[in-house]
């Protein structure tokens, strides 16, 4: 009827989508063909280089194109070194301009896909080639990215590389880690990053134990903090009294969360790390594994294996 928009049928929408995808595929194939045809040249082709930028902005995970751009950058670097005796300042300035443009490209690609392996790797590679890299700026940018998405493990890995470049102090980075975790406990990447900063000892283990204990009590169903807790429990700096205190606390927590398998697993870890020869602890651990078989049937075989070990220890002790 007049004045009404025509609603496309499902078949029409599907056909239009396929047509658009085919158009993109044709452009991609033509672009790749052009790039690959000039890739082996001693000097690079500016048109191919520009096409690779356009393709990467659409899909930054085409590793072939990142490798192609590395080859071009190495050509530029060689020319700079070859001509450095003639005109060192202009040569270096040209190289820096070229590299800065490349860094800007990786930023565009990261906006399209913040978890692109190729973009992060290429960015660091370019900075390592850069005659005057601004590591402080990179570190600030990394902090900014993590405030947007603190689960981006690529950015955490990148940050770890940058620390060695700018020489930031350990207390400052520990504080940053604590702040990010307090903002979001449910974060494997943040917990893992924290574990790489320092080795736990008697002077700092209490701080980490308090942090992770707060996390598991805040959300017992979230697995990320429990894995970090297990790492803390594996440290010999944690004495038996503190382990017993945790065991009692988890017993109370289980009364509130009877269906949480992680609490039972933590009690297993703790009873095993206290006194292996104590029949009471072994008996409790066997009971925990029986309950885990019911709560987590997908891992029934694993729990049965540990249950058998606990029961064998009981038999040997008796």
Give the model's pLDDT for residue 206. 94
- Residue pair 131/84 in contact by the 8 Å Cβ criterion: no
Per-residue model confidence as pLDDT tens digits over 235-274? 999 998 999 999 999 999 999 999 999 999 999 999 887 6
From start to end of 221-294, where are the E strands? none
DSSP state, residue 185: S
For residue 222, give both structure tokens.
Answer: 């979230």
Give the model's pLDDT for residue 304. 96
Q: Which CATH architecture has domain 208-318?
A: Alpha Horseshoe (1.25)
Give the model's pLDDT for residue 26. 82
Which of 15-24, 210-219, 283-292 comes out lowest in average pLDDT? 15-24
Of 8, 2, 9, 59, the C-alpha closest to 32 is 59
The residue that leads in pLDDT, 297 or 85, is 297
- Residue pair 216/231 in contact by the 8 Å Cβ criterion: no
Is residue 1 over pLDDT 50?
Answer: no
pTM of the model: 0.82
């Amino acid at each position: 009827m007049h004045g009404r928009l025509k609603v496309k049928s499902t078949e029409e929408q599907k056909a239009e989508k396929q047509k658009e995808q085919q158009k993109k595929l044709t452009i991609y194939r033509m672009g790749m063909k052009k790039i690959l045809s000039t890739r082996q040249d001693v000097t690079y082709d500016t048109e191919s280089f520009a096409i690779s930028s356009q393709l990467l902005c659409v899909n930054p995970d085409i590793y072939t194109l990142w490798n192609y751009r590395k080859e071009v950058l190495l050509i530029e670097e060689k020319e700079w070194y070859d001509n450095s005796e003639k005109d060192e300042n202009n040569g270096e300035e040209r190289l820096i301009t070229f590299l800065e443009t490349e860094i800007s490209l990786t930023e565009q690609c990261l906006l399209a896909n913040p978890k692109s392996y190729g973009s992060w790797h290429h960015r660091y590679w370019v900075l390592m080639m850069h005659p005057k890299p601004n590591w402080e700026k990179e570190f600030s940018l990394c902090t900014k990215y993590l405030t947007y998405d603190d689960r981006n493990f690529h950015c955490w890995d990148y940050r770890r590389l940058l620390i060695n470049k700018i020489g930031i102090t350990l207390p400052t980075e520990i504080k940053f880690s604590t702040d990010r975790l307090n903002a979001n406990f449910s974060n494997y990447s943040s917990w893992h990053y924290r574990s790489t900063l320092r080795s736990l000892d008697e002077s700092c283990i209490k701080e980490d134990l308090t942090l992770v204990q707060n996390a598991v009590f805040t959300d017992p169903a979230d697995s990320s903090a429990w894995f970090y807790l297990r790492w803390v429990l594996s440290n010999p700096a944690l004495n038996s009294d503190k382990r017993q205190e945790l065991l009692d606390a988890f017993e109370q927590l289980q009364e509130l969360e009877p269906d949480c398998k992680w609490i039972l697993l933590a009690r297993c870890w703790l009873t095993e790390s206290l006194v292996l020869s104590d029949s009471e602890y072994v008996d409790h651990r066997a009971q925990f594994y029986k309950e885990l078989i019911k709560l987590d049937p997908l891992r029934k075989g694993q729990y049965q294996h540990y249950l058998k070990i606990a029961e064998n220890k009981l038999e040997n002790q008796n």
